[in-house]
A and B are shown apart, each in its own frame.
Chain A
Amino acid sequence: MSILSEPLHRALGLTDSELDDIRRVLSREPNPLELALYGVMWSEHCSYKSSRIHLKRLPSHGAHVLVGPGEGAGVIDAGDGIGVAIRIESHNHPSAIEPYQGAATGVGGILRDVFSMGARPLAVMDPLFFGNLDDARNRWLVEGVVSGISGYGNSVGVPTIGGELTFDQCYGANPLVNVLAVGALPTERLALGVASGVGNYAVLLGSSTGRDGIGGVSVLASAGFSGEDGAASIDDAKRPSVQVGDPYEEKRLIEACLELLDRGYVVGIQDLGGAGLVCATSETAAKGRVGMDVDVTAVPQREPNMQPFEIMTSESQERMLAIITPENFEAAKAVCDKWEVRASVVGHVVEPTMMADGTSVAMLRIRRGFDGEVLAEVPASSLADDAPLYDRPRRRPSDLDAIVADDPTHDEPVGDVHADLLSLLVDPAWVYRQYDSQLFLNTVVGPGRDAALLRLAGPGLPASQRGFAVSTDSNPRWCALDPRDGTALTVAEGVANLACVGATAKAVVNCLNFGNPEHPEVMWQLSEAIDGMAAACDALSLPVIGGNVSLYNESGGRDIDPTPVVGSLGVVDSLVSPPPGWNWSDGDALVLVGHREAAGTHPFPLAGSRWATLRGRRGGRLAAFDASRLVSTFRFVTAEVAAICAGQPSDVSAVHDVGAGGLGAALAEMASVTGLGVNVAKLEGHAELFSEFPGRFVIATRDADAFVSRALTAGVPVTLLGTVGGSSVHLGGVVNIDVAEITTRREGALAEALELI
C-alpha cells in the first residue's frame, strides 16, 4: 500500500488501537490537527510507551534527591546551598544522517534541559559509538560528530570535559551519539516546567519557528494530511528533518533565561525539544493542572504559510517556553531585549474546563488568534501522560546459550601478547583537544582520565570548597553476553571511576540505547538491563534521577548490541588539591587494590574483554556482579583520594581504575603518561593481563607498608604487584615493552586509524 492511500492516523505513526484510545479520550473523532498532536506526543520518543513499565523498577529516591526523573533534568543537593542538575540524552539518528548538525543539536538540546531547571550548564560529556574505522564513512562520521560537538559546545560556552569513544562493527550504519550535561544552581533558584496562575502568559523565547525538524515522526507530512489541513506540498514535506543548531542563539538564550530566573520573573519554564511547542505547552499545563490556550498566529515563523500542525510540532532549536505574570512581562521583555532574545506571548494560562459530568479537565486549546477559531481542543494530560503503555513480548535470544558456551577464557590461544597489548591502547586526545574543557576555571581533572573532576563553582553560585565528578560508562561487549550483569558491572565501573578522583557517587542517569523493541529479544535485553541497573543501584545506594531511552538502533538489519550508558555523578567534600591521577614516581611500590580474582566461575574471565573482541571472539561468561566485594573497596579508594583532595599528606602517588583493556592497559597507560616503566613480578599469564571486571585499582605508593596496613584495616584485599622505574614495562615475564614504543603507539593510534597521518 502506498503512503498516499494510508489512513491519516497510520501515516502519523498511530496504530488502529491508539486511534480508538484517542476517540475514547475525546468522545468524538479527532480532527487532523489533533491527530498530529497525538502522533508526536504518543511517539516512542516522547512517550516511552515501550519502556515505561520497565523503567518503573529503577530506584529514584534518596534524601539528597531534589528532583527525580520526569523533569528537564534530575537535581541533587550537593551541599552549601548548591544543587547539581544532570541529564543524558541520545542524538543517534540525526547524527547518522548529518553528523555535524546531529551532534551539535544534541549538545544544544541537553543544555536547555539543564538550564530549564535554573541551573547554569557547567559541563558536557559525550559518549560516542561508531563502526570500525577501516570504513571511510565511519571516519567521516567521527570527524563530523566531533567537530559538531566542538563547534557548538565551545561556542555556546560550556566546557566538554570527557566522554567515551567506542568502535564496534554493530554501530556501522547506526552510530550512537549520547550527550550528558551537568549544571549547578543556588537551590532557591530551582525552576520546574509547571504552568500555574490563570491569566499568566506562556512566552516563547528564542528562535523563530521553521519547518526544520518536523516529524521526529517522519511520516507526519503525508499528502493525505496536507490535503485535509492546508497547502503543504509533498516537496515541503520531504524537507530533511534534521534540525540546524545556532550556538550563538543558545548562548544568549542561556544568559537571558538565567537572568529572568535570578530576577524572579518566571513562574515555570520548560525547553522545547522533541515534539516542540505541543510538548512544552501540554506538559506544563498537565503538570500545573491548568488549561492553556495557544495562538498559533502569535508564534514567530521563519517561513511563510506554515500550517498549525507544523507550528505546533516543529523542532526548531534554541527555544524555551516561560510562564510569566502579566505584571512582570514588560520587565522580562527588557531582559530579553538586552540579550537580543525574541520573546512572544503565544499562550494564556486558563481555568480548567468544567465537563458535563462535573469533573474539571485541563485543556490544551490551539486557536487562530486568542479569541479566534479553536483548531484543536484536547486534555493536556492525555497528550503528556496518557499514551498507551506497552508490555511488548520479551524472549531470551535462542542463540545466547551457544554464545555463552563459546568462551575464549578456555580455548583462545595466547598469541602475541606484546602486539595485542599495543593494539588495545588508544589515546583519545585527538578528540578532546578539539573541546574547550577548561571554561569557568573549574576543571581539575579533564578529559582522558578515569573521571572528570571539577570545582563546584560558577557565576551566581554560593561559595563552596566542594568538587563534583562525572563519568560516563558503557560496555556493549559485556551487555551482549549478559545484559543484566553487564549493566550491573557497568554501574560499578562508573562508581570505580569516581573513586579514582576521590568522589563519592551520589546519583546516576542512564541512556538506554537498544535495537528494535518489536524484536522480543531486544525487549528482553532492555528489561534485563533495567533489572541489572536496579540491582546495582540498590546495592550501591544510588538513585537513578533521569534518563533517556533510544530504541530502533539497527544497523544493516541487525540490532546494535545492548548499550546502556551510565552517567555517574559524585561529590568531593573538600577540593583544594588535585587528586594524584596516573603520575607515579620512580621507586614507588605498586599495589593492586580490591579482589584480585573475579567473582564467578573463572578467576580471570576473558569473555567480553577488548582482547577477546580483538581476536574476533564475542562469546563466553562474564564475571558475576558481587556488590559485597565492591562496596568496601570503593569506599576505601574514595577515602584515600578524598584525603589528598582535602590537602592532607599521603603516601599515595597514583591511582587508576582497571577498566577496558584490563590490568595490562591500565599499567601501560600510566607508563605512557609518565614516561616511567614498571616491573611486575608475577601475573597469572595473559588472562590476568586482559581480563576485565570492575573493583580493582592500581595504586602507586611511596610507603607500601603504611598503605597495605590501612587497606587491611579497612578490610580491603591488596596484592603487591611490583615497583615503578626504568624505561620499559615488564609484566610477569609475559610482556616486556619499551615505554617509548607504548607512547608512540598509544598517541598515534587514533589519528592513524582516521588516516590523518
Chain B
Amino acid sequence: MPRIAVVVFPGSNCEYDAAGALEQLGASTEFIFHSATSLGEVDGVVLPGGFAHGDYLRPGALARFSPVMDAVSTFAAAGGPVLGICNGFQVLTEAGLLPGALQKNRGLTFLCQPTTLIVSSTHSVLTRAAHVDQELVVPINHFSGAYTCDDDTYASLVAHDQIVLRYRENPNGSRDDIAGVSNEAGNVVGLMPHPERAMSTLLGSADGRVLLEGFVGLGVGAR
C-alpha cells in the first residue's frame, strides 16, 4: 500500500478531498503540517489546493518558506513523486521545483467549472497511466491559473516533454493551453485542475482517477 504525505498549510482547504481520493485508490495518507521538518517514510507527497497562508503577497509566495518545503525539496531531488494540485502547483513553482508561474486568469475572475483536458505527455508520475491525446473532464477552481513562462523555459518544456496536460478550450489564458507541467525527470508534477474532484460519476466525472491512479502507482505500464 503506497503511503502518501498530504501537506497541510494554514489555509489549505483541499487536504481532506485529496486524501479521500488517494485512499479510494488504496493509498494510505498522512497529513503533514507545514511546520514539520521531516516527511517520514512516504512513497509520495501531495500539495493540495487551497489558500496556503491566505495567498497573501501572491499564491505560494509565503508557503515556499514553510519548514516542510525543505523536506519536500529533498524528497523531490531524490526522485520521489511529488504532486501539486492548484494551490500546490503554485507553491511548487514559487519554490522553484517546477518551471514557470501562475498568473491571474485572463478574465480577472475566479473560475469554477468543468474543463476538458488533453493528455500531452505520459512522461510523468501523474500521467503515466493515461495515454497521449486522452481527453479527461476535470474541473478547475482558481483565480490565478494562467500558466506563464519565458520563451527559453517554454522551449525547454517542449524539448523535454514536460507539458503533461493541456486544456481543449483554454479557460484562463494559459500559455499554449498548458494545464499541467512536470520537471525534467517527470517525478514532480503540478496542475491547476483538480483530479480529486473527478473521482465519481455521482459528482459529474470519474476522469481524474486515471491521473491519481498513475500517481499512486496503479495501472502503470498498462497503456
Contacts and interface: CB of A to CB of B under 8 A. Distances in A.
B202 A444 contact: yes
B22 interface: no
Contact of B203 (A338, A435, A443): A443
Given A443-B203, A444-B203, A437 B112 contact: yes
Secondary structure dominating the interface of B: mixed
Contacts, number: 86
B213 interface: no
Nearest to B55: A155
17 contacts: A150-B110, A154-B51, A154-B112, A155-B51, A155-B55, A338-B33, A340-B10, A434-B109, A434-B110, A434-B111, A436-B112, A441-B21, A441-B197, A441-B199, A441-B200, A576-B202, A578-B201
Nearest to B171: A433
A359 to B, nearest CB: 48
B54 A248 contact: yes
Contacts of B16: 440, 458-459
Interface string B108-126: 0111110000000000000
Interface string A418-443: 00000000000000111111111111
Nearest to A143: B109
B28 interface: no
A483 interface: no
Nearest to B197: A438
The 10 closest A-B pairs by CB, nearest first: A248-B54, A157-B13, A155-B51, A434-B110, A459-B16, A150-B110, A441-B17, A436-B112, A436-B141, A434-B109
A155 B143 CA distance: 11
A746 interface: no
Interface of A: 147, 150-151, 154-157, 246-248, 251-252, 338-340, 432-444, 455, 458-459, 575-578
Contact of B50 (A157, A458, A576): A157
A247 B51 CA distance: 10
A460 to B, nearest CB: 9
B219 interface: no
Contacts of A147: 109-110
A154 B110 contact: yes
Interface of B: 10-11, 13-14, 16-17, 20-21, 33, 50-51, 53-56, 109-113, 139, 141, 143, 194, 196-197, 199-203
Contacts of A339: 10
A459 B16 CA distance: 7
Contact of A248 (B20, B53, B109, B112): B53
A24 B71 CA distance: 67
A577 B202 contact: yes
Contacts of B199: 441
A435 B110 CA distance: 7
B11 A252 contact: yes
Contacts of A436: 110, 112, 141
A248 B56 contact: yes
Most buried by B among A247, A339, A434, A441: A441
B208 to A, nearest CB: 11
B139 A438 contact: yes
